[in-house]
A and B are shown apart, each in its own frame.
Chain A
Amino acid sequence: MSFLEYAPAPESQAILNLRDSYGLFIDGEFREGHGTPFASISPATEKHIATIAHADASDVDAAVAAARRAYDRTWSRMSGADRGKCLFRIARLVQERSRELAVAESLDNGKPIKESRDVDVPLVAAWFFYYAGWADKLDHVGLGAAPAPLGVAAQVIPWNFPLLMLAWKIAPALAAGNTVVLKPAETTSLTALLFAEIVQQADLPPGVVNIITGAGETGAALVGHGDVDKVAFTGSTSVGRAIARSVAGTNKKLTLELGGKAANIVFDDAPIDQAIEGIVNGIFFNQGHVCCAGSRLLVQESIHDEVIDRLKTRLSTLRLGDPLDKNTDIGAINSAEQLQRIRELSDVGEAEGAERWTAACTIPENGFWYAPTIFTNVSTSHRIAREEIFGPVLSVLTFRTPTEAIAKANNTPYGLSAGIWTDKGSRILAVADKLRAGVVWANTFNRFDPSSPFGGYKESGYGREGGRHGIAAYLKTAAPTVALPSATARKTVSKGATK
């Protein structure tokens, strides 16, 4: 055996103490759902993990009613300092149970344990710590005098970062004084239900956090519910559109965080080894199941061959396999359905004339897997350069000048994130200023922090999560609060883009 075939180093599942079946978490307790329960499986083995309750319309009613009661009777009347204490307790419990949460997340979602352990769960705790600190300072941050909470928030989250997206939604909502009903994605309910146990442990008043499980129709019933004041959704652009339609004409406030097709721009003076790492981290982190993934690599023509060559060498060292093995870099694709979509779009890419290269990996027998793949010779008109693949597939395009790079980067219906790689600081600033993307990373990619607002332009959605902007989205405020780039900056952008 060669050294690089590292002996298996699986994280033990002994720490998990899962139940056979999970009910809905409403009004501080677990109860049966009225729909037909469904199974949650591990995408790496297709083995059954637990049976999950299915919420129907009457369950949604009950959850929203519980949230309303909790809002009226306790949570909106509680002082900010006391709400903060509750959130600090949650944050500390997340840290205490971090290993258990990481194992559950990797088991249920298929992401490598090194990511759930080193990225997801630490960020979850960080998000609660951060927003716990905001809870008693809302009067003093320029959001007007005594900004008021909105009421009941309906929150629907995706399957790519199940627990982290839950934290992004619940932490600011509670800090601002709202109560929530949250629906996790159908394939990844497990950690949200473990989080419900943490809510009990943290002794939050019943009804402040309600978690209902189910599929699309449960989510539709929740966001369409008449007694909801705020809808927050992270997921696909098509569902986001449907939600925007259903919310139109109501008093509900809406934030959407949708798809992306981020450009990762590599200039010829980039720190090359770190840029390669950044490209890998940009698209192969979490199997590419990242809405802000750097799925379009824009590389300066003069260094194209060298970059591709180095990238292939680097990809050959990635380790695909058991998500619970501590040395796994690429885990399982979350569902058979998603795998099908990745395959379909990749085949289209090939049919359109792009050149496909796939890293040599042994694919396990069971479960859903897709080996890291790059497409070279991609044109802007190819579907794999336009549509979100949401998988470990990178499309490589070239550019010759900064102007062309900016034009190509902006030539997408999305605008969630972008990356710039160059050794020249002034170029970073000049290019970032012209990119129409909510997040621009310079000489790094896929880094998140609770203090940094995150959100999109165009079809990537509206509203911001994280930072002061993130909490403003859950408050009635007197002063203007949405701090998108100033009007003059936007004007410059559109000028630059039409040149």
Chain B
Amino acid sequence: MTGTQIVPGERAIALLGGEANDANLRRYLHGIPGVDAVGLEQRAAGLGTRSIKTTSKAWALDRIIGLIDLTTLEGADTPGKVRSLVAKAVTPDAADPSCPRVAAVCVYGDMVPHAVQALGTAHGDPDQGKIAVAAVATAFPSGRSSRSIKLEDTADAVAAGADEIDMVIDRGAFLAGRYGQVYDEIVAVKEACRRADGTYAHLKVILETGELNTYDNVRRASWLGILAGGDFIKTSTGKVAPAATLPVTLLMLEVVRDWHRLSGEKVGVKPAGGIRASKDAIKYLVTVAETAGEEWLTPHLFRFGASSLLNDVLLQRQKMTTGHYSGPDYVTID
């Protein structure tokens, strides 16, 4: 999968009318209309009441599987664990060969070679039914290290065959108002995503919304991530609570929709962490379809960062075909 061809930085300069420094970014980001928290949460709750039944539900469950970044991000990860995760990604439901594959596996940088090897011929673009390898980088999850280390971390993962890089922004710098620094870092990481052949690995910019705290901050960080050249904006690392919530995802989808109105470019959104039930995942699909549009429900524009969600979707899927619920022992643990 290849990232956007736009030279990072052009987006911003065109919009800001000048260099992407602290002053210009501040002027722009603080000029964006505010977010009314009560109204945003009401709208999200309203979207959550959509009732998705029968054929729509069957379609939704299959699509959710195809949008999952199946994730393992543990200190205890081993090549064996990653191989097992890959096997699950390729064949989510051993009892049903018609079950779609997930979009990608998401691992730490040092596990990328193992993931690539385990995937073999299944490795490739999720749009073509293959599975991508996503790596978290830039001193994930805290992002607290020097820029050179972060760039090295990114380049390493790309060299090892990662198709997608999930980077974290410097929340400390963002909250201190040093928007230029956050911007420069995303641009630099994007550059580190460049492969030898000149193409770019897909860049997902993790905002860690749980640390940004306010919806106004989330909206500004979303714009910042897009201006700096992110292909995706992603809610969270999964290591900080609260992780993905429906209102936060709705807000980010509104930014992506507005960016599309403004530039014609499509940027993806990835809620990650805390989405465990099919019922919740369906609410996200509804929110995507009614905010950004149905065309966003493809792997290069929307992902779920999740691990346990897959099994719940499989159970629901089995229930739809057999008419009764089975139990956790009828799906594989990983």
Interface residues in chain A, defined as those with a beta carbon under 8 Å from any beta carbon in chain B: 1-9, 114, 118, 269-274, 277-278, 317, 326-327, 423, 443-444
Choose one: A9, A118, A277; the contact of B39 (CB below 8 Å).
A277
B36-65 residues with Cβ-Cβ distance < 8 A to A are 36, 38-40, 42-43, 49-57, 59-60, 63
The reply to whether B39 and A444 form a contact with Cβ atoms under 8 Å apart is yes
Q: Is B120 an interface residue (CB 8 A)?
A: no
The reply to whether A273 and B55 form a contact with Cβ atoms under 8 Å apart is no
Find the B residue at minimum CB distance from A273. B254
Return the 6 tightest CB-CB contacts between A and B, nearest first. A274-B39, A9-B51, A326-B51, A271-B36, A274-B36, A7-B56
A273 CB to closest chain B CB (Å) equals: 5
B72 CB to closest chain A CB (Å) equals: 29
Beyond known contacts A6-B51, A9-B51, A271-B39: 10 more, CB 8 A cutoff? A1-B55, A3-B297, A5-B56, A7-B53, A271-B35, A273-B43, A274-B40, A326-B49, A326-B50, A423-B33
A-B contact count (CB 8 A): 71
The reply to whether A270 and B33 form a contact with Cβ atoms under 8 Å apart is yes
Q: Is B285 an interface residue (CB 8 A)?
A: yes
A103 CB to closest chain B CB (Å) equals: 14
The reply to whether A423 and B38 form a contact with Cβ atoms under 8 Å apart is no
Find the A residue at minimum CB distance from B43. A277
The reply to whether B51 and A271 form a contact with Cβ atoms under 8 Å apart is no
Choose one: A5, A9, A443; the contact of B38 (CB below 8 Å).
A443
Task: Mark contacts of B57-84 with chain A using CB atoms, 8 A cut-off: 1 yes-contact digit, 0 otherwise.
Answer: 1011001000000000000000000000
Q: How far is B51's CA from A270's CA once the two chains are assembled, in angstroms?
A: 31
Q: Is B289 an interface residue (CB 8 A)?
A: yes
B331 CB to closest chain A CB (Å) equals: 25
A-chain residues with CB within 8 Å of residue B63 when the two chains form the complex: 3
Q: How far is B216's CA from A269's CA once the two chains are assembled, in angstroms?
A: 13
Q: How far is B33's CA from A271's CA once the two chains are assembled, in angstroms?
A: 5
Mostly, the B contact residues are helix
Find the A residue at minimum CB distance from B250. A273
Find the B residue at minimum CB distance from A117. B49
Report the contact-size class of chain B (Cβ under 8 Å from the partner).
Answer: 20 to 34
The reply to whether A444 and B59 form a contact with Cβ atoms under 8 Å apart is no
B-chain residues with CB within 8 Å of residue A269 when the two chains form the complex: 33-34
Interface residues in chain B, defined as those with a beta carbon under 8 Å from any beta carbon in chain A: 33-36, 38-40, 42-43, 49-57, 59-60, 63, 254, 285, 289-290, 294, 297
Q: How far is B56's CA from A233's CA once the two chains are assembled, in angstroms?
A: 45
Q: How far is B54's CA from A4's CA once the two chains are assembled, in angstroms?
A: 13
Q: How far is B55's CA from A1's CA once the two chains are assembled, in angstroms?
A: 9
A73 CB to closest chain B CB (Å) equals: 47
In the assembled complex, 6 residue pairs joining A and B whose CB atoms fall closer than 8 Å, in A order, are A4-B289, A273-B39, A274-B43, A277-B39, A277-B42, A444-B39
A116 CB to closest chain B CB (Å) equals: 13
Q: How far is B55's CA from A9's CA once the two chains are assembled, in angstroms?
A: 11
Find the A residue at minimum CB distance from B40. A274
Q: How far is B33's CA from A269's CA once the two chains are assembled, in angstroms?
A: 6
Find the A residue at minimum CB distance from B34. A423
Q: How far is B38's CA from A2's CA once the two chains are assembled, in angstroms?
A: 31
B291 CB to closest chain A CB (Å) equals: 9
Q: How far is B38's CA from A1's CA once the two chains are assembled, in angstroms?
A: 34
A-chain residues with CB within 8 Å of residue B56 when the two chains form the complex: 1, 3, 5-7
B-chain residues with CB within 8 Å of residue A423 when the two chains form the complex: 33-34, 36
Find the A residue at minimum CB distance from B31. A269
The reply to whether A4 and B33 form a contact with Cβ atoms under 8 Å apart is no
Q: How far is B37's CA from A444's CA once the two chains are assembled, in angstroms?
A: 11
Choose one: B38, B55, B285; the contact of A444 (CB below 8 Å).
B38
Among A3, A5, A118, which residue has the most Cβ atoms of chain B within 10 A? A3
Would A3 and B294 be within 8 Å (CB), given that A8-B53, A270-B33, A271-B33 are in contact?
A: yes
Would A7 and B294 be within 8 Å (CB), given that A271-B35, A423-B33, A444-B39 are in contact?
A: no
Find the B residue at minimum CB distance from A303. B33
The reply to whether A443 and B49 form a contact with Cβ atoms under 8 Å apart is no
Among A5, A114, A327, which residue has the most Cβ atoms of chain B within 10 A? A327
The reply to whether B34 and A7 form a contact with Cβ atoms under 8 Å apart is no
A-chain residues with CB within 8 Å of residue B59 when the two chains form the complex: 3
